[in-house]
Amino acid sequence: MKNKYVEIYHNLVKDIQKGEYAAGGTLPSEHELCARFETSRETIRKALNLLSQNGYIQKVRGKGSVVLDRDKFEFPVSGLTSFKELSDRLGQSFQTHVHELTLVKEAKVCRQLNCQEGSYLWKVVRSREIGGERIILDKDYLRQDLVPDLTKDIAQTSLYHYIENELGLDISFAKKEIVVEPVTAEDEEFLDLNGHDQVVVIRSYVYLGDTTAFQFTESRHRPDKFQFVDFARRTKV
């Protein structure tokens, strides 16, 4: 947290989550926030823009920054969230089973990730158990030239934490697709399907800050346990 406006953003998020500012009410004016954080108005406005983009406030001209009601609608899976972050927030007991951790050559995935056809990729297959049921199957492909070493222990805890904090890679954005597909033999092997014959599939291409594509993930969910929640601003045509 070295940037002033990011720090102010986190401060305000914390205040809103604590209930300091009630939903429907307004934040202090930009002028007041300038005084409180001892900074310029443009810096405050950058922080407020972050709040606005993430669905915490709606700025209304002449009125102020109206605090939005996030509780009415829970936000467990918005943005780019890893399974561990999700479980932490839900506070449920969960378990991760690592079924495969190998170096493979898959031309099709390589093409998608814009890397050399012959280069190696880490393939990680994990199932997620929540409340005693294995309901999510995650298949990850990572570029081995960017993530040289990977252990079962890392796969068991959190890939993202290792990649960001240990390797220092800057995970920046992702393109994702959600579709519904028939179950595969793999799904039947690793999941407690409970009679379901279809799964919700989230395919993600994950990129670093320098636009390098470095990961492809296929996350397969049992339909009755799947939920995706999103906050979207309308971009005027």
Partner DNA sequence: GATTATAATTTGTATATACATGTTTTGCAA
Partner DNA sequence: TTGCAAAACATGTATATACAAATTATAATC
Is residue 1 a contact partner of residue 7, using CB atoms and an 8 Å limit? yes
Q: With CB under 7 A as the contact rule, which of the stretches 44-52, 107-115, 126-134, 157-165 interacts with DNA?
A: 44-52
Which one among 31, 36, 89, 176 touches DNA, defined by CB under 7 A? 31
Amino acid in position 21: Y
Nearest to residue 139, comparing CAs of 75, 207, 83? 83
Span 93-152, contacts to DNA by CB under 7 A? none
For helices 4-18 and 41-53, the axis angle rounded to 10 degrees is 50
63 binds DNA (CB under 7 A): yes
**What does the block give as tokens for 126?**
């994990």
Q: Which is nearer to its own copies, 48 or 200 (CB)?
A: 200
Is residue 82 a contact partner of residue 160, using CB atoms and an 8 Å limit? yes
Instruction: Identify what 32 binds: DNA, its own copies, none; CB under 5 to 8 Å per kind.
Output: DNA
Residues 211, 114: Cα–Cα separation, whole Å: 11
Span 165-204, contacts to its own copies by CB under 8 A? 171-180, 198, 200
5 binds DNA (CB under 7 A): yes
Is residue 74 a contact partner of residue 229, using CB atoms and an 8 Å limit? yes
Q: Which is nearer to its own copies, 103 or 173 (CB)?
A: 173
Instruction: Identify what 30 binds: DNA, its own copies, none; CB under 5 to 8 Å per kind.
Output: DNA
Residues 170, 164: Cα–Cα separation, whole Å: 6
Nearest to residue 193, comparing CAs of 139, 135, 137, 138? 135
Count Cβ atoms below 10 Å from residue 20 Cβ, excluding itself. Answer: 12
Span 112-171, contacts to its own copies by CB under 8 A? 112, 171
14 binds its own copies (CB under 8 A): no
54 binds its own copies (CB under 8 A): yes
Residues 218, 229: Cα–Cα separation, whole Å: 18
What does DSSP assign to residue 26? B
Which one among 11, 13, 39, 98 touches DNA, defined by CB under 7 A? 39
CB 170 → its own copies: shortest distance, Å?
A: 9
Span 74-93, contacts to its own copies by CB under 8 A? 79-80, 85
62 binds DNA (CB under 7 A): yes
Binding residues vs DNA (CB under 7 A)? 3-6, 26-27, 29-32, 38-43, 45-46, 48, 59-65, 210
